[in-house]
């Protein structure tokens, strides 16, 4: 029988005839072709006839159409451009309609149409012929969202003339002033130019669709928030689509302007590294003689060599002839080659999106001189968000002056802290862009997912079963005969089909087959079972025998997988049972943690995640912690194996030496216990497949290594802190031993500049004389350094610490958090506390307070604070005059620390003091508007989850580094300044609380940021969020023994 086959997927990409659209579409085409998808590019002859060196690649074809000008168009006014656009649209619509129909008739149909900005009419053509289409947005995601708001929910706001004169805050976007918006957004659309009307129609089309998708020439790390703001539109970052594609080659590109000579490359070769200023203002923008003159004199004042691209005018006149100053001037050049040249150290640009992305790829900082359209918004992002350049200020006369160009160029190329930060940032963004385009980078994964879901077609290969539709059922025996015929003939056909396809160079990578009957697993009575379940199999019918053979096959396989036509929420119990039947016996994990409150709840949440993936978990810690735990969760798949540490709950801390003795006892007792536990479980047929251990428990990894059990560190502090420790005990160890290092700003690769007060405790100490914790971390780092491709699970998430998770080359760090009790306030059942809560009266008290009015103060379960510090906090609270809830733990002898406060009576009138509370419940309470905290990592993550801004008062250890991140990197809180006497004064607490809870610009920004981070954290933990995907990948590859990818 003839095969029914849909041809290999072919896509039509329609683009506007302009240089700025051409190369992104060529690069996008290259990506699709590499995924096995054929591409036809269509644009008008006005562009096509001018193209130089078009790539000749299998899978790529071109279909240009006449637009009535065919290369003879001359731009003299905006009206001319409108006429040109109208001609492209009218002629192009007819051409594309006929092209799609012609290809379908010829047996090579397009499966999808992709079109670019201001080509929305192509989507309408595709819709008319019932071909699915997708917009490829070649400007930043941020600009798309501005337009989306302009033409949907906020249209009336933009029509308001007052909006042109004030800072505007749109949901999810940074505050924007009028000069930051794309051109025309404040204009009346009816009187606007053709481009604005085109974008309006585009937005209206998307708004009318169900679950529309837009591909964007950007990448997740660069515009993480902007790609996720809108709920109605799914934005997929698949870039950067630029000619260099990170300087792997420059063959897949084309230019509409001819390069007459490459003498400029010889000139660049003669210049020192980073010495040259490169100036180009795009392929369309026309700049005035006055602006050119100011640029020229600004360059002369700088005194540095420059390469300036000044295009010829349409009549062939050279614009540079009007200048009173010249150096190395070109009418066009290969921008990719120039930007990647080592002599180039500064890029003065109009901020077109291609130029911005190419500068990022090439690690060249920017002087931003935007002219119009999206360029002004891009300049805002460059200076204030990505901080990879400086934006020029326009004078009152509307021109940028020469001194302003000099100022900006001097910053970008100079040795000031601002210039150094710019250069660090361009390197960071370049590295992240490269990572996005790697095989498993975010942009590559996004495009693969789009290609698999939207573009790839199906093949049908039916086989002859001997009946071919003539089968008539009159008895069970008839069905048996039919089944036997299907099995015999199908076996031969499928065998031959697989071999034939392999010979033709397109082998099947996998075979998926169905079953005869469905078998479920809830509690069942006899009448609930499938037919024949109780029969003798030998005398049963063919279907039962088939299912028996299927089960026997699965039992004989290692880690078999079954796809089930159901969904988790509908059939969750059955799915979990299947997972346990098929996997748990082979995947049981031992998690060993230090006996402290700060480690218990992250490990419980981590255990919950693993159990949901079908992996059994045994948690082990010492009885000193276990005996104090309240309300341990009782969950199938989770067990506990506590061990004696020699103290068993009787440990009393009176000095650091006491803690050392306790740690040594935990280590010696625990090593023996865990060794015996692993061996015992193996003998009893329930072996552990993996051991996971936490910080300062590195000796557990050594025990596992001794028994040849793989192990992984679960780091429950920020990734940034791990990076610092890693540098401290590897490549930068000598640097930290230098006494001078304690007194200056320190720059470690990939990390923000850190002052001595930003480093974790003890990093500058001599390790030999340091405490037990530092020695433990040192041994941990040495263990990892000795391993090949070590992996560390980190209680953080990609959006929060994207850079820090990727800095180290030798260690793979995987963000799987935030692992906190609330898991974003879905429930609070999976947690445990070592300190008992005697009463929950504080909840009733919180219920009586106004929204966002309460200050919550807590300094963790370990930290001991001085009476002096408590006194300063108390008087600071009184000065604020706001209600507060303050957790002050009882001392070991039962004494109440608050009794030592001189202002206790006044405090109790204004707020409430408790010995312990459920922090999750407090932070999620709507009355809480500020969290004064010691900056323990769990507390920070819980505040992020609960959208509560922080006043950071770190005491020691990782807390000081965490406080740096809070104030300067995430900007979700304010850090207190310590006085010369080493104490934080009451006025400082007052200052910080007033900022966090006040109505000033800084306070508003903090609250915007906590909402942003909370939303990103929630997204990370969703089914397909980064942390969930990371943990699934780890579980599949390391724990369950297979790799999904």
Over the chain (1045 residues), the average pLDDT of each successive run of 10 is: 48 88 89 90 81 77 82 53 83 94 89 94 92 94 92 79 70 83 76 77 90 93 88 91 57 56 84 94 75 93 92 56 54 80 95 93 95 90 94 90 95 91 91 85 85 59 62 62 73 72 58 52 54 61 70 72 62 46 62 88 90 91 76 82 79 60 89 95 90 95 94 96 94 77 78 89 72 85 92 95 91 92 51 57 93 93 81 95 92 70 90 89 95 95 95 92 96 94 92 95 93 90 86 79 44
User: What separation, in Å, do the N-terminal and C-terminal C-alpha atoms of the chain show?
Assistant: 35
Q: Which of 896, 895, 891 is nearest to 908 (CA)?
A: 896
Q: Is residue 748 part of a domain?
A: yes
Distance CA 383, CA 390 (A): 5
Q: How many helices (H) and strands (E) does the chain have?
A: 34, 28
Confidence at residue 920, expressed as pLDDT on a 0 to 100 scale: 85
Mode of pairing for the β-strands spanning 234-237 and 10-14: unpaired
- Match 């509690």 to its residue by tokens: 523
What is the DSSP annotation of 707-739? Answer: TT--EEEEE-S-HHHHHHHHHHTTTTHHHHHSG
What the block records as the tokens of 510 is 């996998």
The C-alpha atoms of residue 369 and residue 350 are separated, in whole angstroms, by 5
775 and 912 share one domain: no
Same domain, 762 and 858: no
Residues 764 and 845 in one domain: no
Q: Is 458 exposed, middle or buried (0-12, 13-18, 19+ CB in 10 A)?
A: exposed
Largest CA distance in the chain: 102
Asked if 725 and 867 sit in the same domain, the reply is no
Instruction: Tell whether 388 is covered by a domain.
Output: yes
Question: Between β-strands 4-5 and 459-460, what pairing exists: parallel, antiparallel or unpaired?
Answer: antiparallel
Instruction: Tell me 924's DSSP state.
Output: T
Measuring CA to CA, how many Å separate 559 from each of 514, 587, 608?
Answer: 18, 10, 22
Is residue 378 situated within a structural domain? yes
Q: How many whole angstroms separate alpha carbon 1002 and alpha carbon 1043?
A: 46
Residue at 314 is within a domain: yes
CB 842 within 8 A of CB 914: yes
In the listed set 403, 436, 469, which residue is the last one of a domain according to the structure? 436
- Token match 């060196």: residue? 53
pLDDT at 1029: 87
My answer on whether 911 and 1020 are in the same domain is yes
Last residue within a domain, chosen from 436, 463, 484: 436
Check if the beta carbon of residue 987 is closer than 8 Å to that of residue 979: no
Do 276 and 369 have their domain in common?
Answer: yes
Instruction: Name the pTM for this structure.
Output: 0.62
Q: Which pLDDT score, from 0 to 100, does residue 565 have?
A: 67
Q: How many independent structural domains does the chain possess?
A: 3
Pull the structure tokens for residue 261. 């000579």
Contact 364, 348 (CB under 8 A): no
Let me know whether 870 and 944 are in one domain.
yes
Please tell me the predicted confidence (pLDDT) of residue 358. 93
Q: In terms of domains, do 307 and 419 share one?
A: yes
Q: Is 967 inside a domain boundary?
A: yes
For tokens 């067990």, the residue is 639
Distances (CA, A) of 1031 to 22, 432, 440: 39, 21, 15
Categorise residue 53: left if φ over 0, alpha if ψ from -120 to 50, beta otherwise.
left
791-794 and 812-815 as β-strands: parallel, antiparallel, unpaired?
parallel
Q: Is residue 205 part of a domain?
A: no
Query: Is 382 found in the same domain as 270?
Result: yes
Rounded to 5°, the CA angle 1035-588-938 comes to: 65
Tell me which residue range forms the domain holding 1012: 841-1029
- Please give the Cα distance from 251 to 53 (Å, whole number): 9
Q: Which of 387, 413, 436 is the last residue of a domain?
A: 436
CA pair distance 138, 239, nearest whole angstrom: 9
Compute the distance between CA of residue 558 and CA of residue 38 in angstroms, rounded to an integer: 38
Is position 565 within any domain? Answer: no
Instruction: Based on the fold, state whether residues 757 and 894 are members of the same structural domain.
Output: no
How remote is the C-alpha of 60 from its chain's centroid? 32
Answer whether the bond into residue 240 is a cis peptide, omega within 30°. Answer: yes
- CATH number, position 373: 3.40.50.2000
Token pair 């299927």: residue: 550
How far apart are alpha carbons 304 and 306 in whole angstroms?
6
Nearest to 919 by CA among 908, 933, 907: 933
Q: What angle do CA 93, 140, 15 make, to 5 degrees?
A: 20
Please state, in angstroms and rounded to a whole number, the distance separating the CA atoms of residues 765 and 736: 8
In a domain? residue 738: yes
Does one domain contain both 766 and 856?
no
Residues 6+ apart with CB under 8 A from 446: 220, 236, 237, 238
When computed from its CA atoms, the radius of gyration of the chain, rounded to whole angstroms, is 33
**729 with 865, same domain?**
no
Query: For position 391, what pLDDT does the model report?
Result: 96
User: What is residue 5's three-state secondary structure?
Assistant: strand
């Amino acid at each position: 029988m003839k095969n029914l086959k849909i041809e290999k997927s072919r896509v039509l990409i329609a683009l506007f005839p302009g240089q700025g659209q051409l190369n992104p579409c060529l690069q996008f085409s290259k990506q699709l072709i590499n995924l096995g998808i054929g591409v036809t590019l269509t644009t008008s002859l006005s562009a096509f006839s001018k193209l130089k060196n078009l790539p000749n690649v299998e899978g790529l074809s071109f279909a240009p159409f006449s637009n009535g000008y065919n290369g003879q168009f001359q731009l003299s006014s905006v009206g001319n451009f409108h006429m040109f656009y109208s001609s492209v649209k009218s002629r192009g619509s007819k051409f594309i309609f006929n092209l799609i129909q012609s290809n379908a008739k010829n047996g090579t149909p397009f499966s999808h149409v992709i079109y670019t900005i201001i080509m929305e009419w192509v989507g309408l053509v595709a819709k008319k012929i019932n071909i699915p289409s997708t917009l490829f947005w070649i400007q930043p995601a941020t600009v798309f969202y501005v337009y989306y708001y302009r033409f949907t929910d906020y249209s009336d706001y933009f029509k308001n003339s007052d909006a042109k004169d004030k800072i505007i805050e749109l949901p999810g976007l940074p505050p924007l002033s009028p000069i930051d918006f794309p051109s025309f957004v404040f204009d009346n659309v009816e009187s606007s130019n053709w481009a604005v009307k085109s974008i309006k129609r585009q937005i209206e089309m998307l708004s009318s669709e169900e679950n529309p998708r837009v591909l964007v020439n950007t990448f997740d790390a660069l515009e993480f928030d902007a790609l996720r703001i809108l709920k109605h539109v799914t934005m997929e970052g698949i870039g950067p689509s630029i000619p260099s594609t990170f300087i792997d080659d420059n063959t897949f590109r084309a230019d509409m302007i001819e390069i007459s000579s490459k003498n400029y490359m010889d000139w660049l070769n003669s210049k020192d590294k980073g010495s040259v200023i490169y100036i180009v203002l795009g392929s369309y923008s026309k700049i005035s003689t006055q602006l050119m003159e100011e640029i020229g004199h600004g360059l002369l004042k700088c005194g540095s060599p420059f390469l300036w691209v000044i295009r010829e005018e349409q009549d062939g006149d050279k614009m540079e002839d009007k200048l009173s100053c010249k150096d190395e001037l070109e009418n066009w050049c290969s921008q990719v080659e120039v930007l990647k040249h080592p002599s180039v150290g500064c890029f003065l640009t109009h901020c077109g999106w291609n130029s911005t992305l190419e500068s990022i790829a090439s690690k060249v900082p920017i002087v931003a001189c935007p002219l119009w359209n999206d360029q002004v918004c891009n300049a805002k992002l460059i200076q204030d968000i990505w901080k990879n350049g400086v934006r020029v200020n326009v004078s009152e006369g509307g021109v940028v002056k020469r001194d302003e160009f000099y100022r900006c160029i001097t910053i970008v190329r100079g040795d000031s802290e601002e210039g150094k930060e710019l250069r660090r940032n361009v390197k960071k963004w370049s590295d992240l862009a490269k990572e996005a385009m790697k095989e498993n980078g975010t942009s590559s994964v996004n495009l693969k997912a789009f290609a698999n879901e939207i573009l790839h077609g199906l093949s049908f290969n039916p086989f002859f079963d001997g009946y071919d539709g003539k089968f008539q059922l009159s008895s069970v025996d008839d069905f048996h005969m039919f089944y036997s015929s299907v099995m015999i003939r199908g076996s031969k056909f499928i065998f031959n089909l697989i071999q034939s396809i392999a010979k033709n160079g397109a082998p099947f990578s996998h075979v998926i087959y169905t079953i005869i009957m469905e078998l479920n697993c809830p509690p069942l009575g006899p009448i609930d079972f499938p037919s024949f379940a109780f029969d003798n199999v030998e005398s049963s019918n063919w279907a039962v025998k088939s299912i028996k053979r299927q089960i026997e096959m699965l039992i004989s396989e290692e880690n078999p997988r079954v796809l089930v036509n159901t969904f988790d929420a509908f059939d969750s119990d059955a799915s979990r049972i299947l997972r346990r039947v098929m996997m748990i016996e082979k995947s049981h994990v031992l998690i060993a943690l230090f006996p402290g409150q700060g480690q218990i709840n992250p490990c419980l949440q981590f255990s919950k995640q693993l159990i949901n993936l079908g992996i059994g978990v045994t948690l082990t810690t010492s009885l000193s912690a276990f005996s104090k735990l309240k309300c341990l969760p009782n969950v199938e798949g989770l067990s506990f194996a506590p061990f004696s540490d020699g103290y068993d709950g009787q440990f009393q801390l009176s000095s650091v030496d006491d803690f050392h003795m306790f740690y040594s006892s935990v280590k010696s007792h625990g090593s023996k216990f865990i060794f015996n536990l692993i061996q015992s479980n193996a003998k009893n047929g329930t072996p552990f497949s993996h051991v996971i251990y936490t910080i300062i428990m590195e000796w557990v990894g050594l025990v596992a290594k001794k028994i040849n059990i793989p192990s992984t560190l679960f780091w429950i502090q920020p990734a940034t802190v791990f990076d610092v420790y890693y540098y401290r005990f590897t490549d930068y160890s000598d640097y930290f031993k230098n006494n001078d290092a304690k007194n200056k700003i320190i720059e470690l690769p990939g990390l923000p500049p850190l002052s001595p007060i930003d480093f974790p405790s003890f990093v500058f100490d001599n390790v030999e004389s340091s405490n037990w914790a530092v020695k433990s971390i040192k041994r941990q780092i040495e263990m990892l350094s000795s391993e090949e491709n070590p992996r560390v699970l980190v209680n953080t998430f990609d959006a929060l610490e994207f850079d820090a998770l990727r800095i180290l080359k030798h260690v793979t760090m995987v963000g799987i958090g935030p692992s906190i009790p609330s898991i974003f306030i879905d429930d609070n059942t999976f947690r445990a506390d070592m300190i008992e809560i005697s009463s929950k009266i504080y909840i009733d008290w919180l219920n009586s307070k106004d929204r966002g009015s309460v200050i919550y103060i807590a300094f963790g379960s370990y930290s001991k604070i001085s009476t002096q510090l408590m006194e300063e906090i108390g008087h600071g609270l009184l000065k604020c005059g706001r209600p507060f809830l303050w957790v002050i733990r009882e001392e070991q002898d039962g004494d109440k620390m608050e009794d030592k406060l001189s202002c206790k009576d006044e405090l109790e009138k204004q707020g409430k003091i408790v010995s312990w509370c459920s922090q999750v419940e407090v932070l999620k309470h709507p009355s809480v508007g500020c969290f004064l905290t010691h900056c323990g990592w769990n507390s920070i993550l819980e505040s992020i989850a609960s959208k509560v801004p922080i006043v950071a008062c770190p005491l020691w250890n990782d807390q000081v580094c965490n406080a740096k991140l809070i104030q300067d990197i995430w900007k979700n809180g304010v850090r207190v300044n310590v006085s010369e006497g080493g104490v934080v004064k009451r006025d400082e607490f007052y200052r910080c609380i007033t900022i966090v809870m006040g109505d000033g610009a800084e306070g508003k920004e903090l609250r915007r940021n906590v909402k942003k981070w909370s939303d990103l954290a929630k997204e990370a933990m969703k089914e397909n969020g980064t942390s969930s995907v990371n943990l699934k990948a780890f579980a599949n590859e390391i724990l369950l023994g297979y790799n999904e990818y």
